[in-house]
Amino acid sequence: MKHKYYFPPGIAGRRAWLLNYKTQIGTVGGDLGMSAADITAEKDACQAMIDKIDQAETAKANAKSKTTERDNSIKTGMKDLSTKIRNHKSNSGYTEVIGESLEIIGSELVIDYTTVKTTVKVGKTPAGVSIKFTLENCERGNIYCKRGSETEFTLIKSVMHPQAEDARPNLSGAAVEQRQYYVMLMIGDEEVGVPSAIETINN
């Protein structure tokens, strides 16, 4: 009968295997005709591999801790520094040349208003349905809905903030009705881009 290779593939499994081999070879080594020196050599070889595994795991844990420490430092530090930079930009002595030298002027934002599209998320609230979307650097959004037995979408709200709530009662007093929503972004009084994907929820 053929057998799989006895050495496990995972690090945890390999460490456990090495520990067991190290322990058991000391017990059965004599039955295999091994000298005390031979047994010690194999036990030392196992321990050397176990030590390297443990050292690597410790290094990984330390690296993860340092990465978290780095990210938290940047998050906290930049929050404070961004406030100071806003103050610099409002200072009477601030110029665009200074801003460029400090690299505190972001690259120019280019938006294609023929293809811009928002992402919509809907959810249940005690009053009805919440609709949240991204403005994608536009000014407002038109929210469209189709519910229950309706066959067409109708505009229900036009909002400047990217969230709204649909608190209308269900049609015909239905206990549950399906509602579908999509959003069109706007610049001024004109819709731009393409409709968002339709999001569906039972209310």
pLDDT of residue 198: 97
| For range 103-121, the mean pLDDT | 91
For residue 121, pLDDT beyond 80 = yes
pLDDT of residue 3: 81
For residue 126, pLDDT beyond 80 = yes
For residue 108, pLDDT beyond 90 = no
For residue 74, pLDDT beyond 80 = yes
For residue 134, pLDDT beyond 80 = yes
For residue 1, pLDDT beyond 80 = no
pLDDT of residue 106: 87
Task: For the chain, list the domains and their CATH numbers.
Answer: 1-106 (no CATH), 120-202 (2.60.40)
pLDDT digits (tens, 9 = 90+) for 175-195: 999 999 999 999 999 999 999
One-character DSSP codes across the chain: -----SS-SSHHHHHHHHHHHHHHHHHHTGGGT--HHHHHHHHHHHHHHHHHHHHHHHHHHHHHHHHHHHHHHHHHHHHHHHHHHHHHHHSTT--HHHHHHHT-SPPPP---TTT----EEEEEETTEEEEEE--TT-SEEEEEEEETT--S-EEEEEESSSEEEE-PPPGGG-S--EEEEEEEEEETTEEES-PPPPEEEE-
pLDDT of residue 172: 87
pLDDT digits (tens, 9 = 90+) for 148-159: 999 999 999 999
pLDDT band per the 50, 70, 90 thresholds, residue 19: very high
pLDDT band per the 50, 70, 90 thresholds, residue 2: confident
pLDDT of residue 116: 96
| For range 128-153, the mean pLDDT | 95
State pTM to two decimals: 0.54
